[in-house]
Amino acid sequence: MAALDLPQLLALAAVLGFASGLRLYAVLFVVGLAGWAGWVELPSGLQVLQHPWVLIASGAMGVVELIADKIPWVDSAWDSVQTFIRIPAGAALAAGALGGVDGAVWTVVAAIVGGSLAATSHLAKSGTRAAANTSPEPLSNAGLSVAEDFTVGGLLWLAFAHPWVALAAVAVLAVAAIWLLTRVLRYLRRVFRWLAPGARAP
């Protein structure tokens, strides 16, 4: 079991930040499981994730999130609560990935970038789900949720197997998330104006 090299650590930090905004508990469980099973040697700042009790807690919460995320309106309520957890967790995980590279400098930089990536993906996810919940059919929520599942899984795999591709993917997804968020916010503003009292009066 070889230690992760610098490109892998950079990719892991970026992926942990971005993916935490989508599926925090799945990220915690998969990374911890990879370290516990001996598939990878996690950096010292992330080795706590492979503790059995942490794996049990993150796995249980991952199941709860998996179910809640596929139920219309429940997903938006869950996202609202997770706003206060996903973003700082993304910053902490990214900092943990790079904490042993070169002292405090890399740790602070990783925390800033990781938290920003987590905020970007979380806000895009939350806004998209809120927009999807204005639709009368429930399939859009389930489809979006499954797409997020595959995105997180794919990014974590790329971080270990193809780190430079993972970094490029996170950059593209972050730009796409920002663009999507602007579109969603414009759509939600139109919906709220339409729902406002007197908006539909003759």
Q: What is the pTM of this model?
A: 0.88
| Residue range 125-151: mean pLDDT, rounded | 80
Instruction: Give 177's contacts (C-beta < 8 A, 6+ positions apart).
Output: 120, 121, 123, 124
Residue of 84, 162, 69 lying closest to 118 (CA atoms): 84
Do 47 and 58 form a contact (C-beta atoms < 8 A)?
no
Of the candidates 36, 62, 64, the residue with the CA atom closest to the CA atom of residue 49: 36
Per residue in 27-64, pLDDT (tens digit) is 999 999 999 999 999 998 999 999 999 999 999 999 99
Instruction: Give the Cα-Cα-Cα angle 196, 199, 202 (nearest 5 degrees).
Output: 155
pLDDT at 34: 93
**Least confident stretch, 113-122, 136-145, 152-161, 193-202:** 193-202
Q: How many CA atoms lie within 13 A of 81 on its CB side?
A: 9
- pLDDT tens digits for range 7-23: 899 999 999 999 999 99
